[in-house]
Structure formats: C-alpha cells, structure tokens
C-alpha cells in the first residue's frame, strides 16, 4: 500500500449528483450512467492520490472495479486468504474480482474514464486469476456499489461489471494469486447458501444477480 497511487473521486461530488447511500447503508446505486457521464465530461472529477491517505479520508471515494465472472450460468467465487491486502476481508467469501485503479492503467495518457477502468479490469484479471487470453469483452459497468455500514465501505465506491467468459475456459488452466482460496464456479442457489460468509459487496451483488435475466 505504501506509496501506491489510486483513482478517487470526491464524495461531495457524488452527493451533488444524487449518488449516495443516505437512504440505506448498503445499496446498489442504479444511476451508473449519470456517474459515468460525470466522470467522462470532466477529467477534474477524478484524480490519483496516495492510497494510505485515501483509506483515512472520508471526503474521497476510491473507485474499485468489481468484476463478476459468469460461465455457463455459474458465478466465480472464492475465499479471501490471509495474504489479502485488505485484512478486514480475510476469510470472507467473495464473488468479485478487481482492485484499485492505478496510474499504470492510464495508457495511453489521453484515454477516457471508461477505458481507464477497463484497462484496470483486464490487468486485475491477469494478476488475480491468470486470464491472459480471456476471450471476452469488457462491458459498460452495470451499477455502482456503496456500503456505508463499515469504514472500508465509507471510503470506496464499487464499479460493478458482469463479464461473460470463454465457454471453454477451464479452472485448471488458471493461475491464482495467493489471496484466492477455494476457487470455483457456483450456481446462484449455491451462493445463497454461503451468503452469511460473504463480504458485503458480494452480498449486495448477489441480490442484484437474483434479478438479472442473464444469470439464473
């Protein structure tokens, strides 16, 4: 974490455009198009700051692409090991991959916000599960995730992606980070059985999946 620069936006800006979780401490925020438009129209609406500082600054939201992988109507899941960079999530079940957006994702320098986050998604999939030849397109984010019920959530904003991966992708061909334990694809029903062990963003995303026509 030391000296790492991460992508953030101002919490006040989110409040001004009506994106907040004031009505509910945990929520999927549907006006993702408004958020993306705000980020695209003015580069001053986002910036890179020191992560260690941002973790303690409630005036900022660190933007985290949170990627759910769908393969033949099953969702990728895993348990976060004690090697996780975020110790507050250790031993939690997760259905989300991803992480912070860094300046190295800003290639070329003149790319827009969506491309920047898309680059971060591709990098994280390579780093976390070894998907170097993933046959998929990175779609437009489906929703925003907010969770003000804990200090982790209060300084982060999830950018939720649903990614359909290659039909022929085999688990044995993947190379997992040390942070990932017990990786497997599960049905929605199987995931509901372990919901009580999930990190909050995964719980929020799981309930969105229940209403998603693409995944049964």
Per-residue pLDDT tens for 68-78?
998 888 999 99
CA 97 to CA 83: how far, in whole Å? 15
What pLDDT score was predicted for residue 91?
A: 77
DSSP secondary structure letter of residue 160: E
Helices (H), 155-193: 188-192
pLDDT digits (tens, 9 = 90+) for 48-87: 999 999 999 999 999 999 999 988 889 999 998 765 555 5
Domains of the chain: 5-209 (3.90.79.10)
Burial of 90 (0-12, 13-18, 19+ CB in 10 A): middle
- Residue 114 has phi, psi (to 5 degrees) of -65, -40
**pLDDT mean for each 10 residues of the chain (216 residues):** 89 88 52 92 96 95 95 90 60 92 93 95 88 69 89 91 72 72 92 93 90 53
Asked whether the beta carbons of 123 and 98 are under 8 A apart, the reply is no
Q: What three-state secondary structure class fits 77?
A: strand
CA 188 to CA 75: how far, in whole Å? 7
Indicate the pTM of the whole model.
0.87
């Amino acid at each position: 974490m030391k000296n790492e620069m991460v992508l953030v936006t101002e919490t006040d800006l989110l409040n001004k455009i009506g994106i907040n979780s004031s009505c509910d401490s945990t929520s999927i925020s549907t006006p993702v198009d408004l958020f993306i438009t705000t980020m695209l129209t003015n580069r001053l609406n986002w910036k890179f700051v020191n992560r260690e500082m941002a973790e303690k600054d409630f005036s900022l939201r660190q933007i985290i692409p949170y990627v759910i992988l769908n393969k033949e109507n099953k969702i990728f899941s895993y348990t976060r090991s004690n090697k996780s960079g975020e110790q507050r999530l250790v031993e939690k079940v997760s259905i989300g991959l991803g992480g912070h957006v860094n300046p190295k994702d800003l290639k070329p320098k003149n790319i827009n916000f969506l491309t920047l986050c898309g680059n971060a998604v591709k990098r994280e999939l390579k780093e976390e599960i070894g998907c170097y030849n993933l046959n998929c397109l990175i779609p437009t984010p489906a929703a925003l995730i907010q969770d003000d019920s804990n200090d982790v959530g209060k300084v982060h904003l999830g950018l939720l992606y649903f990614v359909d991966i290659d039909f022929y992708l085999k688990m044995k061909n993947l190379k997992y980070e040390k942070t990932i334990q017990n990786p497997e694809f599960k049905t929605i029903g199987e995931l509901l059985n372990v919901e009580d062990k999930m990190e909050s963003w995964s719980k929020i995303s799981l309930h969105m999946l229940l209403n998603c026509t693409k995944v049964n």
